[in-house]
Structure 1
Amino acid sequence: MNWDAFFAVHSGLYREGPGTARDVEWACAQACVAPDAAICDAACGPGADISALRAAAPQGHVTAFDKHLGFVAEAAIRHRRDDAVTVTQGVLLGPDDLPDPVDLGPFDLIWCAGAIYITGVEPALKRWRGALKPGGAVAFSAPVNLAEPTSEMHAFWEQEVDTEDSLDAAIHAAGFGTVASSRVPSEGWEAYYAGVEARCDDLSRCEAPAIRQAVAENRREAEKWRALRDKLGYALRVVRPS
């Protein structure tokens, strides 16, 4: 992948993955987040969920991090007037010579929208147990197949992904119990792809071959999702150490 071209498309977007503020509100309610909670937004992207996390804990503090410095900068700029938000560079779990939630915590809640699959649910939860305060919870969304995988579904994800059953098995294997389960609704996917497609429109007159290719690939991804929307999606889980 040409990462320069990828980030040329994936810059200036409101969010970098499927979801809405309602998903965050649901997760915080299920986790019984207190008004003064310490919250971690792990792999925050450009900071789309920080406002909803702050609304759930108006007397609390949100520590947000991402590995990509461009997203760190965007999130920091968006929330530069809120002293109860800290934005930094970090990773889901080491080793990368950057902090992860254990280094930055402890937290009452770790929220991770769409990124926990990168490291795997089980290793992430095992590591993050050490980042939680007593009674703390982890809430996340993760890609899942909702039907028997087909070649089209494999091509969409470009890797093996969980079913909801195997996702729940990974949660259990990590020593966590599930507090609540749901899914990111279609509106969350449409909101994401609407932003991506608008960015592609903005770049449509650019003649750089790498950007033209990235624009075409992102448009195809949106089309593929709309064809497969009933067969795959993002599961939502709120979990606590058993």
Structure 2
Amino acid sequence: MDWESFFTVHQDLPREGPGSDEDVEWACALAEVAPEAVICDAGSGPGGDIAALLSCAPNGRVVAIDKYFGDAADRRYASDPRVRGIKADFADLNQLAEAPFDMIWSAGALYFLGLENALASMARALKPNGVLAFSEPCRLVNDPSPEAVAFFEGYPMRTGAEIAEFARQAGYDVLGQRTVSDAGWEAYFQPMEARIKTLRPKADNALSEMLDLCAKEAADWRTYKSEVGYMLTVLRSAS
């Protein structure tokens, strides 16, 4: 991975993964998140979901943590005392000063920990009856093509039903599930494609390779979106 080229492409994008305000609003409404809730946005990217989280908990707080973009989230909300952005790994959220949390929101990031490890780690950082809402790579058909599986780099994808059952075995109650919409994916890819177009004319070889890779990601999703995607799952922790 040429990280310099990666960050050149991704610098100042509004979000670092698929999702939408509607996803946040749906999850918070389903979980009846309180206006004063303390929420952790785990794997927040530059903070694309923070505004929607604050809308659901206007009297609460959001702690946004991301290994690469947490400082961008902090700058983005520097004037809002309800938000703290942290550039750090989110594997041990229970170590944060604000923990335990009323809700943990994680858009397309828990799979970096592996689902089993992630569910256990998140449980340690939640209050009794706290809420975990996350989007996870999933199979939308029983036997996706090898090309579709390769889109998530061979990650062991489950169906939505299998994700739900896995969460139940981990001690959570499943409140609901739905797939992340095409609009949520386009909210990630379209700004990235606009940036690719801007960078193309003056790109050196390394950056050109990264631009090609990022453009292929968007094209591949549009090709295989009927086979694989993200399942948004809302859970309640044990009391």
User: What's the TM-score once normalised by structure 1's chain length?
Assistant: 0.93
* Helix, strand or coil at the partner of 1:204: helix
Letter matched to residue 4 of structure 2: D
For structure 1, the 5+ residue unaligned runs are 94-99
Letter matched to residue 60 of structure 1: G
Q: Which residue of 2 aligns with 1:61?
A: 61
Q: Is it true that 1:101 corresponds to 2:101 in the alignment?
A: no
User: What's the TM-score once normalised by structure 2's chain length?
Assistant: 0.94
Deviation of 1:202 after TM superposition, in Å, equals 1.2
Q: Which residue of 1 aligns with 2:71?
A: 73
1:134-145 aligned within 5 A: 134-145=128-139
Quote the Cα distance in structure 2 between the aligned partners of 1:155 and 1:87.
32
Match of 1:174 among 163, 170, 173: 170
Quote the Cα distance in structure 1 between the aligned partners of 2:42 and 2:118.
11
Quote the Cα distance in structure 1 between the aligned partners of 2:44 and 2:187.
17
Deviation of 1:12 after TM superposition, in Å, equals 1.0
1:91-240 aligned within 5 A: 91-93=89-91, 100-104=92-96, 105-147=99-141, 148-160=143-155, 161-240=157-236
Deviation of 1:150 after TM superposition, in Å, equals 1.2
* Helix, strand or coil at the partner of 2:154: coil
Deviation of 1:121 after TM superposition, in Å, equals 1.7
Q: Against the structure 1 CA distance between its residues 57 and 207, is the aligned structure 2 distance closer, same or farther, given a 3 Å change threshold?
A: closer
Deviation of 1:73 after TM superposition, in Å, equals 2.3
CA RMSD in angstroms comes to: 1.2
Quote the Cα distance in structure 2 between the aligned partners of 1:61 and 1:12.
23
Quote the Cα distance in structure 2 between the aligned partners of 1:173 and 1:92.
23
1:3-82 aligned within 5 A: 3-68=3-68, 71-82=69-80
Deviation of 1:241 after TM superposition, in Å, equals 2.3
Quote the Cα distance in structure 2 between the aligned partners of 1:130 and 1:157.
27
CA deviation map 1:44-89 (0-9, x unaligned): 0000001111111111111111111xx1222111111100111112
CA deviation map 1:126-167 (0-9, x unaligned): 122121112211001111111112111122111222222332
Contact 1:122 1:173 in 2 (8 A): no
Quote the Cα distance in structure 2 between the aligned partners of 1:47 and 1:207.
27
Quote the Cα distance in structure 2 between the aligned partners of 1:137 and 1:207.
44
* Helix, strand or coil at the partner of 2:201: coil
Deviation of 1:32 after TM superposition, in Å, equals 0.8
Contact 2:149 2:228 in 1 (8 A): no
Quote the Cα distance in structure 1 between the aligned partners of 2:4 and 2:19.
25
Contact 2:38 2:101 in 1 (8 A): yes
Quote the Cα distance in structure 2 between the aligned partners of 1:228 and 1:102.
37
Quote the Cα distance in structure 2 between the aligned partners of 1:179 and 1:149.
27
Runs of 4+ in 1 over 3 A off after TM superposition: none
How many residues align structurally?
Answer: 234
For structure 2, the 5+ residue unaligned runs are none
Quote the Cα distance in structure 2 between the aligned partners of 1:119 and 1:173.
18
